[in-house]
Amino acid sequence: MSRLNQNEDSLVRRIARAFAHEQGGGRNTLKGEVGDDAALFAPRRGYETILTCDWFLEGTHFLRDKHPADAVGWKSLARAVSDIAAMGGQPRCFLLSLALPQACTGRWLDEFLGGLGRAARKYCCFLAGGDTTRRKEILINVTVVGEVREGQAVLRSGARPGDVIFVSGRLGEAELGLRLLRSAKAVANKRTAAVKKHLYPEPRLALGKWLADERLANAMMDISDGLSSDLPRLCAASGVGASIEEGKLPIVPTATDKRTQRYDGLQVALNGGDDYELLFAVPREKAARIPRSFQDLLLTKIGEITRGRAILRKDKNNRKLELAAGGWDPFRKKN
Amino acid sequence: MSRLNQNEDSLVRRIARAFAHEQGGGRNTLKGEVGDDAALFAPRRGYETILTCDWFLEGTHFLRDKHPADAVGWKSLARAVSDIAAMGGQPRCFLLSLALPQACTGRWLDEFLGGLGRAARKYCCFLAGGDTTRRKEILINVTVVGEVREGQAVLRSGARPGDVIFVSGRLGEAELGLRLLRSAKAVANKRTAAVKKHLYPEPRLALGKWLADERLANAMMDISDGLSSDLPRLCAASGVGASIEEGKLPIVPTATDKRTQRYDGLQVALNGGDDYELLFAVPREKAARIPRSFQDLLLTKIGEITRGRAILRKDKNNRKLELAAGGWDPFRKKN
């Protein structure tokens, strides 16, 4: 239900109100009001500031009829927070840029703000400001500001030959969730683990911080576009190659479930996006310090960093094949 | 000319390259590479961080066939930098979120990056990161990170009854420029002052910083949507009213030019957007310290802050009328 007398100022006030109760913890961080020209943020001494932004666009990243509004709210923040986790940092506040059709300024907006607010509370990341406008399609851009102790950020560029490559969680699960969601006649069952992971991803903040605090990772990134696209990015930034073993990948079993048995768990693990798991390279002498799981989150050794630039995958017959980037790329020519 | 083998990574590299020569001054500020998960920013001790973001969307904020790509680049950064000026701060770096049609990844993008780069150099605001994707229409979102000495930021909320209201520059000039641009058969003459102001606005950084350094303004904001919409926002944030005199507004003479004589300079000054001039409230006892011009920029006393909540305009017959918000509001019902 759209509101007839809606204008931009009242929209900004509604957004600010939705977060008013949650800003307590942010008060020391933020000055000024939502609606001021800009937000003021007091950086802590001894910390560096981390900045990241992410598009979340109707039709490109979500579908209005398939993705519940509160999942759109949750995920728009969670995926940007995941970039902070991938540096070993902690989120502090965010800016919300929102373009909405008039028809979405009522119930849709309330549910969106509900999901966004839950993510903001869970990740202690407070609304600092933003920009709103009207648009035929829903456009979202979220900027997250985080922090990390000086010199402790883990970049993509630090991997060295011999490092052991690890991933968290199960790969391809969110992609399976997306496929279940798209094939569902109406709204998919949000309680299915894969659908839940697609709709409500959980940035691996605690793991990222632990790896940074303990200086266990030479390089790290989050897997947002799929392992086959993201691993080459980490390698390119580090000037190294990699070799992974397909048999070691933490894939999701697909054969036992009627709804998923037509999908190849390995392909989905290599090329599926939206998992927001962490991919990290650990110096060989520290690899034994990585446990099999961290706070119930599976950690898996999947290969190692190599000299040269080749990115290889060893298949079940022990053949070494080139790993072709097959993840999400909005600019790649469709086949 | 679109490039056939364009993919997202190469697009990110092209954007990073376009700024590679200009990042020298930002090296101390920024660590990590464009293309990392997030950017690292080292805040200076004794400064607060200012955060702002702005939409700049094809069809809503600019037209692909009327606005040259380099003006789109310049303006997308300049309008966000203006929010930093309005707090009395200085910009440090920015994040660029860009969604592009494939057809715009060639020459259009080069020209866009040209204009964006010129603005970045001029305002010492360096590219720190961003996000790119493909989209049918050009979508831009810019986040600017700035800084201001602790406790020195000028908010909207500090105006007090009796304060004198000032504006910089001439109001309505950018709106006149837009009208000339829209009525031009082909591309409008960029050298016309009004068109230039619409296409290449100049955030009032030096003025904003001087007012903050000298603690001359109780409240400040930039006029982006038009005086009649923005003054009430400053007043609402401060819990005050205002009274302005129409006869004192620094309007643009429209009668003497054949191309502009059908426009009412006063209406355009009250309701025209995109000027990015500063609106500020100065305590009466300090008002004499505001010069008639600051670095060739006109400064004009236009009224005063009052008790109560009424926003009034005194017309040429000395009648006091309500000032109705008539500026840009994407959510207001069109007449």
Cβ of residue B329 closer than 8 Å to a chain A Cβ: yes
**Would you tell me which CATH number, out of the four given (3.30.70.260, 3.30.1330.10, 3.40.50.720, 1.10.10.10), belongs to the domain B8-149?**
3.30.1330.10
**Number of DSSP helices (H) and strands (E) in chain A, helices first:** 8, 14
- Picking from A61-75, A182-196, B30-44, B97-111, which range would have the lowest pLDDT averaged per residue? B30-44
| Contact status, residue B221 vs residue B233, Cβ threshold 8 Å | yes
Q: What's the rounded Cα separation, in Å, for the pair B34 and B28? A: 15
Span B208-226, mean pLDDT?
A: 97
Contact between chains at B60 and A97 (C-beta distance less than 8 A):
no
**Is the pLDDT score of B333 beyond 50?**
no
Quick check: B158 and B279 in contact, CB under 8 A? Answer: no
Alpha-carbon distance A97 to A95, whole Å?
7
CA distance A319 to B172: 69
**Whether the predicted pLDDT of B5 surpasses 70:** no
Instruction: Note whether B253 contacts A: Cβ–Cβ < 8 A.
Output: no
Distance from C-alpha of B158 to C-alpha of B239, rounded to nearest angstrom = 9
What was the pLDDT predicted at B13? 84
Give the one of B38, B55, B150 whose C-beta lies nearest to A87's C-beta: B38
Given A38, A99, A102, which is nearest B52 (Cβ)?
A38
SS3 readout for chain B? CCCCCCCHHHHHHHHHHHHHCCCHHHCCCEECCCCCCCEEECCCCCEEEEEEEEEEEECCCECCCCCCHHHHHHHHHHHHHHHHHCCCCEEEEEEEEEEECHHHCCHHHHHHHHHHHHHHHHCCCEEEEEEEEECCCCEEEEEEEEEEECCCCCCHHHCCCCCEEEEECCECHHHHHHHHHHHCCCCCCCCCHHHHHHHCCCCCHHHHHHHHHCCCCCEEEEECCCHHHHHHHHHHHHCCEEEEEHHHCCECCCCCCCCCCCCCHHHHHHHCCCCCEEEEEECHHHHHHCCCEECCEEEEEEEEEECCCCEEEECCCCCEEECCCCCCCCCCCCC
Please work out, in degrees rounded to the nearest 5, the angle formed at the alpha carbon of residue A28 by the alpha carbons of A26 and A29: 65
Query: Given the DSSP bridges, would you call strands A241-245 and A311-314 parallel, antiparallel or unpaired?
Result: parallel
pLDDT at B1 > cutoff 60:
no
Per-residue tokens: A281: 């390279």
Asked if B51 and A31 come within 8 Å (Cβ–Cβ), the reply is no
**Residues B148/B44, Cβ–Cβ less than 8 Å:** no
Alpha-carbon distance A28 to nearest alpha carbon in chain B (angstroms):
12
- State how far the Cα of A160 lies from the Cα of A283, in Å rounded to an integer: 8
Every domain range in chain B assigned CATH 3.90.650.10: 156-322
Question: Is residue B167 pLDDT above 90, yes or no?
Answer: yes
SS3 A257: coil
Mean pLDDT of B97-126: 95
The rounded distance, in Å, linking the Cα atoms of B37 and A82 is 9
Looking at per-residue pLDDT, the higher value among B183 and A135 belongs to: A135
Q: Decide which of B230 and A41 is more confident.
A: B230
Q: pLDDT tens digits for B317-328?
A: 999 999 988 887
pTM equals: 0.92
Average pLDDT of the segment spanning B7-34: 66
Assess A137–B contact: CB distance below 8 Å, yes or no.
no
For helices A8-20 and A107-122, give the axis angle rounded to 10 degrees: 40
Instruction: Please indicate whether residue A192 or residue B218 has the higher confidence score (pLDDT).
Output: B218
Q: Which residues of A touch B86 (CB under 8 A)?
A: 37-38
Residue B146 sits at the chain A interface (C-beta within 8 Å):
yes
Residue closest to A216 by CA, chosen among A294, A139, A141, A269: A294
* Alpha carbon distance B157, B210 (integer Å): 19
Q: Would you call B196 an interface residue with chain A, using a CB distance cutoff of 8 Å?
A: no
Split at pLDDT 50, 70, 90, the class of B29 is: low
Structure confidence at residue A75 (pLDDT): 98
Residues of chain A with Cβ-Cβ distance to B48 below 8 Å are 31, 40-43
pLDDT for the residue A117: 95
Q: Domain A9-149 class?
A: alpha beta
Q: What is the pLDDT of residue B31?
A: 56
The alpha carbon of residue A292 and the mean position of all alpha carbons in its chain are separated, in whole angstroms, by 22
pLDDT digits (tens), chain A, 335 positions: 333 345 778 888 888 888 875 554 444 455 555 667 788 888 899 999 999 999 999 999 999 999 999 999 999 999 999 999 999 999 999 999 999 999 999 999 999 999 999 999 999 999 999 999 999 999 999 999 999 999 999 999 999 999 999 999 999 999 999 999 988 776 667 778 999 999 999 999 999 999 999 999 999 999 999 999 999 999 999 999 999 999 999 999 998 888 889 999 999 999 999 999 999 999 999 999 999 999 999 999 999 999 999 999 999 999 999 998 888 777 664 43
Residue B188 pLDDT > 70, yes or no? no
Cα-flanking dihedrals φ and ψ of residue A133, to 5°?
-155, 175
Lowest mean pLDDT among A33-47, B142-156, B284-298, B312-326: A33-47
Contact flag B330-A51 (C-beta cutoff 8 Å): no
Q: What percent of chain B has pLDDT over 70?
A: 91
Put simply, whether B257 touches A (Cβ < 8 Å) is no
- Cβ distance of B222 and A139 shorter than 8 Å: no
Contacts of B89 in chain A (CB under 8 A): 38
Q: What is the pLDDT of residue A24?
A: 46
Which has the minimum average pLDDT: A310-319, B40-49, B67-76?
A: B40-49
**CA of A80 vs chain B CAs: smallest distance (Å):** 9
Mean pLDDT of B258-280: 94
Indicate where chain B has its CATH 3.30.1330.10 domain(s): 8-149
Q: What Å distances lie between residue A89 and A192, A289, B42, B129, CA to CA?
A: 30, 21, 14, 17
The pLDDT score that the predictor gives to residue A319 is: 96
pLDDT of residue B34: 63
What superfamily does domain B156-322 belong to in CATH?
A: PurM-like C-terminal domain (3.90.650.10)
Contact residues on chain A for B50, CB-CB shorter than 8 A: 38-41
**What pLDDT is recorded for position A39?**
87
pLDDT level of residue B22 (50, 70, 90 thresholds): low
Distance from CA of B196 to the nearest CA of A (A): 24
B256-291 residues labelled b (16+ CB within 10 A) or e (exposed): eeeebeebebbebbbbbbbbbbbbbbbbeeebeebe
Of B104, B113, B105, give the one whose Cα is nearest residue B19: B113
Check if A44 contacts B (Cβ < 8 Å): no
Contact A331 B42 (CB under 8 A): no
List pLDDT tens digits, range A86-99: 999 999 999 999 99
Task: Say whether pLDDT at B37 is over 90.
Answer: no
